[in-house]
Amino acid sequence: MKLIPILGLLAISVSLSGSVYNQAVADTLKNLPLKSRSIYQSKSQWETQDGDKTGLEKLRGKPVVAAMIYTSCQASCPLMMSDLKAIEHGLSVDERNGVQFAAFAFDSKKDTPNQLKSFSEKHGVSLARWTFFHGSPSSVRELAALLGVKFKQLEDGSFDHSNAISILDSEGVIVRQQLGLRQNPEESIKTLQRLLDH
Amino acid sequence: MQRKRDPLATFKSNQRLFAISSIALLLGLVGFTPAYGGVSQQRFIPAGTYVPFFISRDPTKKSTAETVRKPTPVPAFWMDSSLVTNKDFLEFVKKHRDWRRSQIARVFADESYLKHWRSDVVLNKPADLDQPVTNVSWFAAAAFCHSRDKELPTTDQWEYAIEDAGRHSEDVKKKILSWYSAPNPKVLREVKQHSPNGYGIYDLYGLIWEWTQDFNSAMIGSELRSDGTKDENLFCGAGSASATDASDYVKFMRYSFRSSLRADYTTANLGFRCAREEKK
């Protein structure tokens, strides 16, 4: 039974000219059941830099570059942001518009939507493509578990954390992870281009 | 062109769906058993401190020599005296269909999730009821605890509980070592067959390994170099240097076991219990 609407959609998408991004198709796709391996299965709740309350499924529909950040840290976060931007800059303007960047804050206390907003301004990123997410400690813990990110809050409130950039397909399935900082972004860029070609 | 769907076929399939769901509903009603008295008892564990296996890093300093060596405070909390059993977990999946073996999203548990059960809501044999549930992922364990208004214990809480305020520590260490060296049994024994520790908690060792809420806070080597530099001194590469008690092999085993886990992993000797912070 599930196959029939999918086949129908395939017929529609094939009949449309190649890479044109079609809102109607995207909207219909969003009504199909989520894939079993999609991280959007998570019911965790978040708030964006603009204070909008949302679930992860908000990201459904376009490939996503996802990472966890910590805005008051001195050491690794500027590096994490520059790694993310390196991926963005490796894409053509057209490609960039087909991709979303999602940065999730570790620090539920300090990284409020307001703080995330000014962080985004400081980094001069386009909020048309980028979203910064604030969540409760349990949302953060669950997302870290989904992305395979390890973290620990230290006594002074700062965080130690591992660094992973996850590339998700338009359904929220992790297709690639770039582990560690200052990695060559080329493979991640290629992965995104492959996802956009589909 | 979207293929046109035969309205009769749609009606028939809807009808079939309706029949299936009615049967499922009936079965669900028959299978439902009112909450029994077996909801795990909780024990109060008073506040105190413990010294974790790995000392925490002083974020203002860079080298191991300047790490903080003071004990970690643990606020008072409540902990289940018993591990969660197959019976408890069966009750949970009966109410929460999403966590049944055939329904669970693959992102939340790997293929061996609850593989020791006969089917979604049937165990292999009644004798399994009081064994600790295993083959459960971190996501499933956390969801179970949430359904009872609890959480998984933090690693600090769990380690503090097994430390048992230092009671019989040498004896306990010996027992843990002999458990580690014994092969995994084919059949797990039932919970609460041995005496509890001083806090009234059963089976913290000798039966299975346990999930903690922040199992993913244990980092090894490069993972912990938050500034991306090669400071090999900080972590496990220099494990013995930063361990608070290098001779404490039993703590080290637990630490490295947790750091090897992924949240969707399930295995035959890993289960859990729940805990709850003391309400202020």
Query: What is the model's pTM?
Result: 0.82
B234 found inside a domain = yes
DSSP B3: P
Segment A121-138, tens digit of pLDDT: 999 999 999 999 999 999
- Amino acid identity at B8: L
Element (H, E) at A45: strand A45-48
Q: A34-197 maps to which CATH number? A: 3.40.30.10
**CB nearest to B105's CB, from A41, A144, A182:** A41
ipTM of the complex, rounded to two decimals: 0.85
Task: Determine, yes or no, domain membership for B7.
Answer: no
Count: domains in chain B: 1
* Inter-chain touch B218–A149, beta carbons under 8 Å: no
Q: What is the pLDDT of residues B93-145, one digit of tens each?
A: 999 999 999 999 999 999 999 999 999 999 999 889 999 999 999 999 999 99
Rounded to the nearest angstrom, the gap between the alpha carbon of residue B254 and the centroid of all alpha carbons in its chain is 13
Do B91 and B33 form a contact (C-beta atoms < 8 A)? yes
* Structure tokens given for A99: 């991709």
CA torsion through residues A116, A120, A126, A131, sign: negative
User: What's the average model confidence in pLDDT over A76-80?
Assistant: 74
* Residue B29 falls inside a structural domain: no
Q: Is residue B74 part of a domain?
A: yes
Kindly state whether residue B13 falls inside one of the protein's structural domains. no
Smallest CA-to-CA distance from A104 within A64, A163, A46 is with A46
Within chain B, strands assigned E span 42-45, 48-50, 72-74, 77-80, 209-210, 270-271, 275-277
Q: By C-alpha distance, which of B122, B145, B153 is closest to B215?
A: B153
Cβ separation A8–B138 shorter than 8 A: no
Question: What are the tens digits of pLDDT across the range B228-255?
Answer: 443 433 332 333 344 555 457 888 889 8
- Dihedral pair phi/psi, residue B205, rounded to 5°: -145, 165
Give the burial class of A35: count Cβ atoms within 10 A of its Cβ; 0-12 exposed, 13-18 middle, 19 or more buried.
middle
B14, pLDDT greater than 90:
no
Which residue is listed with tokens 């000219």? Answer: A17
- The verdict on a CB contact (< 8 Å) between B226 and A180 is no
In a domain, B31, yes or no: no
* Average pLDDT over every residue of A150-159: 85
Residues of A in contact with B3 (CB under 8 A): 4, 7-8, 11
Domain holding B93, by residue range, is 38-277
Grouping H, G, I as helix, E, B as strand and the rest as coil, residue A133 is: strand
- Residue B2 placed within a domain: no
Contacts of A37 (CB under 8 A, 6+ apart): A173, A174, B105, B106, B107
- The answer to whether the Cβ–Cβ distance between B213 and A144 falls below 8 Å is no
